[in-house]
């Protein structure tokens, strides 16, 4: 038997018509509180939701899985009740509950499910297991992850600087805008770029946060666009959020 395996979070295999697993991008809670991380399995209603924890620089750890027909949660090594549990509000809506959160819970949490209704092609956030004998595939789909910040101090909005493309860069077909975020009070942030009020993800790359001597963090995010889009006087915006606090900056060629 030959088995084809797409590595964890790799781009080696994708699928056509695969369900989309949706998670909130960022949650910030105070130390000692309860964190509730939601996951929607899309069109999948007959499979369990499985959760993984990944600390910065670490490998994903299997935490637990839960199915709406089960009476109890199945746990991975090192995870147990009452600290960790899972609930559901429908056959496709699940939640990971972390009680009495501590700084060790600071991580990115990924939700995963199975979708057997599609054929293997190409996608992101997918593992695919197929046999050459019967061409039966199990498509494993991941959400994009929820960043969990744990704080014991008041949050403050980050300070942003939005830089336009350089004159030299505009001579090429592509141009890059830079969003510098400083005085960030937590290590995990959520960055959103928009053009004329519409959110964009193509051409976006964001660096990890970097801790400073004053214990704040800084990071950079980049948006690469067609030079003609910039010269057409479109409005470009960068927003960086940390929990309920955020800062948004906008720029266009007419402002430069």
- By C-alpha distance, which of 212, 210, 219 is closest to 56? 210
Backbone angles phi, psi at 209, to 5 degrees: -75, 150
- At 138, is the pLDDT very low, low, confident or very high (cuts 50, 70, 90)? low
Strand partners, 14: 121
Q: Is the pLDDT of residue 133 over 60?
A: no
Choose between 135 and 203: higher pLDDT: 203
The 10s digit of each residue's pLDDT in 47-89 is 999 999 999 889 999 999 999 999 999 999 999 999 999 999 9
pLDDT of residue 154: 87
- How is domain 3-151 classified at the CATH fold level? Immunoglobulin-like (2.60.40)
Give start and end residues of each alpha helix (H) in the chain. 227-231
Q: Is the pLDDT of residue 186 over 80?
A: yes
Backbone angles phi, psi at 3, to 5 degrees: -110, 130
pLDDT of residue 13: 36
Measured distance CA(54)–CA(108) in Å, rounded = 5
Q: Parse the chain into domains and list their residue ranges.
A: 3-151, 159-255
Q: Is the pLDDT of residue 153 over 90?
A: no
Least confident piece of the model among 8-12, 112-116, 191-195, 238-242: 8-12
User: What are the DSSP calls for 151-196, one per residue?
Assistant: ESS---PPEEEEEPPPTTGGGSSEEEEEEEEEEESSS--EEEEEET
pLDDT of residue 56: 86
Q: Is the pLDDT of residue 127 over 80?
A: no
Helix (H) or strand (E) holding 34: none
CA distances, 115 to each of 7, 29, 74, 92 (Å): 17, 32, 20, 12
Share of the chain above pLDDT 70, in %: 84
The 10s digit of each residue's pLDDT in 81-113 is 999 999 999 999 999 999 999 999 999 999 999
Instruction: Return the CATH architecture of domain 159-255.
Output: Sandwich (2.60)
Residue 243's CB is within 10 A of a number of other CB atoms, namely 19
Mean pLDDT over 190-211 rounds to 96
| Rg (the chain; Cα; Å) | 21
Strand partners, 51: 64, 111
Mean pLDDT over 207-220 rounds to 95
Q: Residue 67, SS3? A: coil
Residue 165's CB is within 10 A of a number of other CB atoms, namely 22
Residues 6+ apart with CB under 8 A from 256: 164
Measured distance CA(96)–CA(20) in Å, rounded = 18
Share of the chain above pLDDT 90, in %: 71
What does pLDDT average to over the chain? 87
Q: Is the pLDDT of residue 237 over 70?
A: yes
**Full-model pTM:** 0.76
pLDDT of residue 7: 35
pLDDT of residue 124: 46
pLDDT of residue 11: 31
- By C-alpha distance, which of 240, 76, 243, 235 is closest to 146? 243
State both tokens at 253: 């060629």
Residue found under tokens 């056959």: 91
- At 243, is the pLDDT very low, low, confident or very high (cuts 50, 70, 90)? confident
- How long is the chain? 256
Whether 3-151 shares its CATH topology with 159-255 is answered yes
């Amino acid at each position: 038997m030959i088995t084809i395996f797409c590595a964890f979070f790799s781009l080696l295999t994708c699928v056509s018509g695969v369900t989309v697993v949706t998670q909130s991008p960022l949650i910030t809670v105070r130390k000692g509180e309860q964190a509730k991380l939601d996951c929607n399995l899309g069109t999948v209603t007959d499979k369990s939701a499985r959760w993984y924890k990944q600390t910065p620089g670490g490998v994903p750890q299997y935490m637990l899985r839960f199915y709406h027909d089960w009476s109890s949660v199945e746990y991975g090594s090192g995870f147990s009740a009452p600290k960790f549990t899972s609930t559901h509000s429908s056959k496709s809506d699940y939640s990971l509950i972390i009680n009495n959160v501590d700084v060790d819970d600071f991580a990115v949490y990924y939700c995963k499910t199975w979708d057997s209704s599609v054929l293997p092609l190409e996608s992101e956030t997918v593992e695919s297991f197929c046999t050459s004998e019967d061409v039966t595939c199990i498509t494993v789909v991941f959400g994009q992850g929820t960043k969990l910040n744990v704080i014991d101090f008041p949050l403050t909005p980050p300070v942003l600087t939005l830089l336009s493309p350089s004159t030299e860069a505009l001579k090429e077909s592509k141009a890059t805008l830079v969003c510098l975020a400083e005085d960030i009070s937590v290590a995990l942030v959520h960055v959103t770029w928009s053009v004329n009020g519409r959110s964009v993800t193509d051409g976006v790359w964001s660096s990890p946060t970097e801790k400073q001597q004053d214990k704040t963090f800084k990071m950079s995010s980049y948006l690469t666009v067609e030079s003609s889009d910039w010269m057409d006087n479109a409005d470009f915006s960068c927003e960086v959020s940390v929990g309920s606090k955020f800062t948004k900056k906008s720029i266009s060629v007419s402002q430069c």
